[in-house]
Amino acid sequence: MTVVRTRIAPSPTGDPHVGTAYVALFNYCFARQHGGQFLLRIEDTDQVRSTRESEAAILRSLKWLGLTWDEGPDVGGPHGPYRQSERSAIYRAHADALIEKGHAFRCFCTPQRLDEVRKAQLAAQQTPGYDGHCAHLSATESAARAAAGETHVVRMKVPREGVCQIQDLLRGPIEIEWAQVDMQVLLKSDGLPTYHLANVVDDHLMGITHVLRGEEWISSAPKHLLLYGYFGWQAPQLCHLPLLRNPDKSKLSKRKNPTSIVYYERMGFLPEALLNYLGMMAWSMPDEREKFTLEEMVAHFDLSRVSLGGPVFDQAKLSWLNGRWIRESLTPQQFGERVAQWALNADYLGRITPLVQGRVERLSDLGAMTSFFFQGLIEPNPAELTVKGLDADGVRRALQWVSWRVEDTTPFTRDTLEPALRETAELLGLKTKDFLRVLFVTFTGKPVSTPLFETMELLGRDLCRARLRHAQTLLGLMTSKEDKKWKAELEAAEKALAEKKLAAAAAAVAPETPTL
């Protein structure tokens, strides 16, 4: 019997997500329990969205949780490189092999044509999908056009009839008609593979035997199985785990729930408690005990104990569990050490004290003046969440504009935040001072405190996001109608501001022109 090998394959396109940790945990436990290996691979084939910062943050967060891998971009291994952006040649060769065998073809269609086709299909109430336009180009024409440098993608061929049967470790057989499967792009016009190609090639080359992944992948499983078949490889066992959910049951998302592992770290959750909580999402110990370590989970892990209903990620129960870990598993000394590690450390304190030195009269003023640096969510007085010159809805809209800025401002530093938020004030047609006041209240709970931009940087994006969202909740969360409306209004304001600046620049130049 071959050794079990599993993997987690995060895409470095954002904050470290608890869902990634959840899937990683199950893959880790499954591999360990069978005496196998668990590896980490970075799926950074999306050149536009992938960043090294995100990759580093994801590795850091998974390690913080106590998850380790036998092979990965940081530790190496015999099947590297473990970063897909460094494996382009491999995918290209495999795509070529598929073209040669007639399982894939070059597609020279323009995005515009694809768009038109899709619209027509939608109008005719058909399932949108590639119409096969380039599938029957002759090999010589295809090769010639590619050689001439014409931009193209590579698509896989898909049977038009019959059904694909997927054997899911948890769900048994799942049948999907081939007619439902699109002729997926395998190689993008930038020469990099899509997930579907890269994932299959790498899982095979890296000897992955079992793929435990989110339920969201079920519908694309036929493509993957088909590719394994085209290559003549044995496919790994597939197992689709239920998705973590928001309280409203939708797929866990940043918009509705904190999803970043860093948020939980900054909120003061213990890594062992968070990991423990993720372990009780869709899974339970045979004896139903709720508190358990990673080692205990590995020892008792059993895929058949995974339940299929999507579990709601419940902050309240996580907090309760975290409390248990704090009071049951830490000595007083260890507790002190954890607190120090968390925020009472020289680094954090050393960045805070300079902000208050000029504002204190006695050292004892420190506590009250900096309390919000050591809190999770704060309770601002709703009566203070106002802006001079704006009505209630105006404030709500302003906070939402800020929320978009908080997401878009990268890196999240004093120097990037200041211009971004000053501009937001300008877009709102407000005096910076009047506008910023509500942000002081939002982030620190008080209308006056340490300098806003430095404070935001120190709190970090995750805590700022949470406090902002909390303030928005107090005032009434944005409706989806408002979402669209406010977004459009923001774009209009940005456009107007850009034009105004352009005009001002032109006016500044104009006087130079001779008036003879």
Partner RNA sequence: GGCCCGUUCGUCUAGUGGUCAGGACACCGGCCUCUCACGUCGGUAACAGGGGUUCAAGUCCCCUACGGGUCACCA
Is there binding between residue 232 and RNA (CB under 7 A)? no
Name residues contacting RNA, limited to 44-73 (CB under 7 A). Answer: 45-46, 49
Q: Could you tell me the smallest distance in angstroms from the CB atom of residue 208 to RNA?
A: 14
Asked if 192 is part of the footprint of RNA (rule: CB under 7 A), the reply reads: yes
- The nearer residue to RNA, 19 or 445, going by C-beta atoms, is 19
Confirm if 243 and 252 have CB atoms less than 8 A apart: yes
Among 1, 123, 127, 147, binds RNA (CB under 7 A): 127
Stretch of 180-188, 383-391, 452-460, 500-508 lying at the interface with RNA (CB under 7 A): 180-188
Residue 259 interacting with RNA (CB under 7 A)? no
Report DSSP state, residue 21: H
Residue numbers 10-39 binding RNA by CB under 7 A? 11, 13
Largest CA distance in the chain: 94
Q: Which listed range, 126-134, 330-338, 353-361, 477-485, lies at the site for RNA (CB under 7 A)?
A: 126-134
| Rg of the chain, C-alpha, whole Å | 27
- From the CB of residue 147, how many other CB atoms can be counted at a distance below 10 Å? 8
153-156 β-sheet, strand order: 104-107, 153-156, 185-187
Among 151, 345, 410, 479, the residue binding RNA under the rule CB under 7 A is 151
SS3 content of the chain, % helix, strand, coil (to 5): 55, 10, 35
The interface region with RNA, picked from 90-98, 267-275, 277-285, 445-453 by CB under 7 A, is 277-285
The catalytically annotated residue of 188, 254, 291, 446 is 254
User: For residue 302, which of 286, 278, 281 has the smallest C-alpha distance?
Assistant: 286
- Tell me: does residue 171 bind RNA (CB under 7 A): yes
- Judged by CB under 7 A, the residue of 135, 218, 339, 478 near RNA is 218
- Single out the segment in contact with RNA by CB under 7 A; choices: 214-222, 256-264, 477-485, 506-514: 214-222
Alpha helices in 267-314 (DSSP H): 271-279, 294-300
Quick one: 276 or 472, whose CB is closer to RNA? 276
Point out which residues pair with 6 in neighbouring strands.
38
Residue with tokens 């997500």: 17
Residues in 487-516 at the binding interface with RNA, rule: CB under 7 A:
none
d(CA 438, CA 384): 7
- Least distance from RNA to the Cβ atom of residue 325, Å: 11
CB 450 → RNA: shortest distance, Å? 29
* Pairing label, strands 153-156, 104-107: antiparallel
Query: Is-catalytic flag, 254?
Result: yes
**CB under 7 A: which stretch of 60-68, 218-226, 332-340, 432-440 binds RNA?**
218-226
Structure tokens, 254: 């940043």
Tell whether residue 164 is a contact of RNA (CB under 7 A).
Answer: no
Strand blocks (E) in 159-276: 163-168, 172-177, 185-187, 210-214, 237-241
Subset of residues 366 to 385 that bind RNA, contact rule: CB under 7 A = none
Two tokens at 218? 């079920």
Q: What angle do CA 287, 288, 292 make, to 5 degrees?
A: 95
310 lies in the site for RNA, by CB under 7 A: yes
207 sits near RNA (criterion: CB under 7 A):
no
Pick from 5, 354, 11, 382: nearest CA to 216: 11
> What string of DSSP letters covers 392-403?
HHHHHHHHHHHH
96, 159, 250, 393: residue in contact with RNA (rule CB under 7 A): 250
Dist CA 123 CA 126 (whole Å): 8
CA distance linking residue 104 with residue 238, whole number of Å: 24
CB of 254 to RNA, least distance (A): 13
Chain positions 323 to 342 lying near RNA, rule: CB under 7 A, are 323-324, 327
Residue 345 to residue 410: CA distance in whole angstroms: 25
Q: Indicate the residue among 307 and 381 with the shorter CB distance to RNA.
A: 307
Q: Is 154 helix (H, G, I), strand (E, B) or coil?
A: strand
Instruction: Answer for the pair 416, 410: CB distance below 8 angstroms, yes or no.
Output: yes
Closest alpha carbon to 220 in 169, 156, 308, 282: 156
Applying CB under 7 A, the span of 92-100, 167-175, 203-211, 465-473 interacting with RNA comes to 167-175
Query: Is residue 304 at the binding interface for RNA, with CB under 7 A as the rule?
Result: yes
Show the beta-strand stretches assigned E in 45-119. 104-107
Does residue 282 interact with RNA by CB under 7 A? yes
Contact with RNA (CB under 7 A) among 52, 63, 255, 305: 305
Listed in sequence order, the residues at least 6 apart from 498 whose beta carbon sits closer than 8 Å to its beta carbon are: none
Per CB under 7 A, contacts with RNA among 415-474 are: none
Least distance to RNA, CB of residue 108, Å: 8
Q: How far is the CB of 439 from RNA (least distance, A)?
A: 30
Residue closer to RNA, measured from CB, 116 or 216: 216
The footprint of RNA on residues 83-122 (CB under 7 A) is 109-111, 114, 118
Interaction between residue 355 and RNA (CB under 7 A): no
CB of 475 to RNA, least distance (A): 23
Tell me: does residue 316 bind RNA (CB under 7 A): yes
Residue whose CB is less far from RNA, 246 or 416: 246
Count of residues for the chain? 516
Q: Which SS3 state, helix, strand or coil, does residue 312 take?
A: strand
Catalytic site positions:
254
